[in-house]
Amino acid sequence: MTDHPEPRRALLSAYDKTGIVELAGALVALGWELVSSGGTAKVLADAGLAVTPTSELTGFGDMLGHRVVTLHPVIHGAILADRDDPAHRADMATYGITPIDLVAVNLYPFTSDPSVELLDIGGPRWCARRPRTTSS
């Protein structure tokens, strides 16, 4: 596998921010660069950690009621690129995409009637389904 450029980058986005500052601080101590959006970026910055807001990378703030925050080629290309593929590396160079090595997220809490409107994993909704039920 191709060596990772330094510093390594982590995308952090947490609904429940318990422990996020400690995680981020440990990553920074290991030389990682932090990327985050919205409330998570604010919590990290307020704790004195250097963090790059996703809006700085994409040129867009959150929109559509916070449904579109990280949904952008600069973010998804950074996560999904195959660094061993020369065509991917060329695309990354062309579009100024710096790899993201780690994604740490947690989801909104689910209730007995989950709402897809609350899911945000780099986009409005990736995989929310009601549990299957069986009829007697």
Sorted by where each begins, the domain ranges of the chain are: 9-107
Highest average pLDDT, of 41-45, 110-114, 117-121, comes from 41-45
Q: Judge if pTM exceeds 0.85.
A: no
**Distance separating alpha carbons of residues 80 and 63, to the nearest angstrom:** 23
Q: How confident is the model at residue 132 (pLDDT cuts 50, 70, 90)?
A: very low
Strands 51-53 and 33-36: parallel
With 50 as the cut, is the pLDDT of residue 30 above it? yes
With 60 as the cut, is the pLDDT of residue 79 above it? yes
Task: Return the residue matching tokens 């689910």.
Answer: 110
Tokens, residue 99? 């790899």
Of the listed ranges 18-22, 26-30, 102-106, the one predicted with least confidence? 102-106
Angle at 40 between CA 20 and CA 126, to 5 degrees: 100
Mean pLDDT for the chain overall: 79
**pLDDT average, residue stretch 60-67:** 73
Tokens, residue 132? 């299957």
Chain-centre distance for alpha carbon 5: 19
Give the model's pLDDT for residue 33.
95
11 in Cβ contact with 103 (< 8 Å): yes
With 50 as the cut, is the pLDDT of residue 127 above it? no
Domain 9-107 has CATH 3.40.50.1380: yes
